[in-house]
Structure 1
């Protein structure tokens, strides 16, 4: 079931419906919902508030958030919604594809548009702000993703924080987040994918220099 969800996101930029999944698996809608809820409980995907559809399958999201991701190759017309700055890098990583990310700086509204991919880092001056510590990410995962935003630079991220959420969050450079996204999401579409352990993911954070209490996973 999980693989079918990711297949639809990768190929068409959308989440499959419960009816579609039931048809593909020759099962009932009730059975599909049961499996989806189990996957959501395991943090393998995120359901809508009513629990009757797929909202997110990281790094993909079924609804617009703040990022649009498109292939750099002009002959590939796929389009994905990026749930956050990290997930937007993760889409290129998961698809092993060079992409263009389009978003806007929350502080000044400047349109940010740049190519990136598994071997192409983002512009060095860009910054990313994480709104809450790692141990709280899944308390409201959609809310967390919504606020992992990309800024023109650290100064703009700092000003936005001072004006809107003083004393909270963590600001890092976008290149660090890009580096983290490659191993975090790079195997997400592989056949036989198995979720990473907490220890594995903690090591990925540390390898990118994201250490200390803020980055400690639950």
Structure 2
């Protein structure tokens, strides 16, 4: 078996673990599930990190993220019918019911970063959640992978644009992109299609741009024309 084939087996085991139990399998669990030794598992994880199919802590080798799942809390919890997940960001949290076909809806919970107000929505596959809240994405798409944990930690949901402005003023950060809940839902819908299946290939730039455009996004933040 080639290194690439071993990496695909490990990727499937990681995603399967997240989907079933809400957390990343450890190296020993992955070795038991795949039949590979610990060294082969570590090599596979490193390759998957390089190809951006997973995010690992390069110091420890631990799995940090397998989008849309996260091993670390970044502001969101997602409750399904039997499983609790950490959501990596607003985008990923709303994507989970689209990815998991046996979860037609999930409860997404968070707090406004500006005023700490609690918010919760039932996120479904068939329709956007109601609400006047807005999402603010801090990091433009061209730089999202410069530090993906920072990027995901700053894709948050706020009570309103007023709360976004207050948070930006308090933190000294520059405005990124603000979108309403229907746009966020369209962005999340279908973005991770096939990620639980064998042979999944991440979107290339043209496919990503087409998806952003279909979601109603425009402008340089998304690497797209303004109109």
* TM > 0.5: yes
- State the aligned residue count: 213
Match of 1:194 among 186, 201, 208: 201
C-alpha contact (below 8 Å) 1:150/1:174 kept by paired residues: no
Match of 1:91 among 91, 96, 106: 96
Distance 2:172 2:188 in 1: 25
Write out per-residue CA displacement over residues 81-116 of structure 1, whole angstroms, 9 at most, x where no aligned residue.
011111100112111320011100111111101111
Give the equivalent residue in structure 1 for 2:11. Answer: 2
Q: Residues 191 and 28 (structure 1 numbering): CA distance in 2 closer, same or farther, change over 3 Å?
A: closer
Match of 2:159 among 152, 164, 182: 152
TM-score by length of 1: 0.92
TM-score by length of 2: 0.88
C-alpha contact (below 8 Å) 1:90/1:186 kept by paired residues: no
| RMSD over equivalenced CA pairs, Å | 1.6
Match of 1:137 among 132, 139, 144: 144
Which runs of no fewer than 5 residues in structure 2 stay unpaired? 1-9
C-alpha contact (below 8 Å) 1:37/1:51 kept by paired residues: no
C-alpha contact (below 8 Å) 1:84/1:147 kept by paired residues: yes
Alignment of 1:52-63 (within 5 A): 52-63=61-72
Q: Residues 154 and 168 (structure 1 numbering): CA distance in 2 closer, same or farther, change over 3 Å?
A: closer
1:124 CA drift (Å): 3.5
1:120 CA drift (Å): 3.1
Alignment of 1:69-88 (within 5 A): 69-71=78-80, 76-88=81-93
Give the equivalent residue in structure 1 for 2:27. Answer: 18
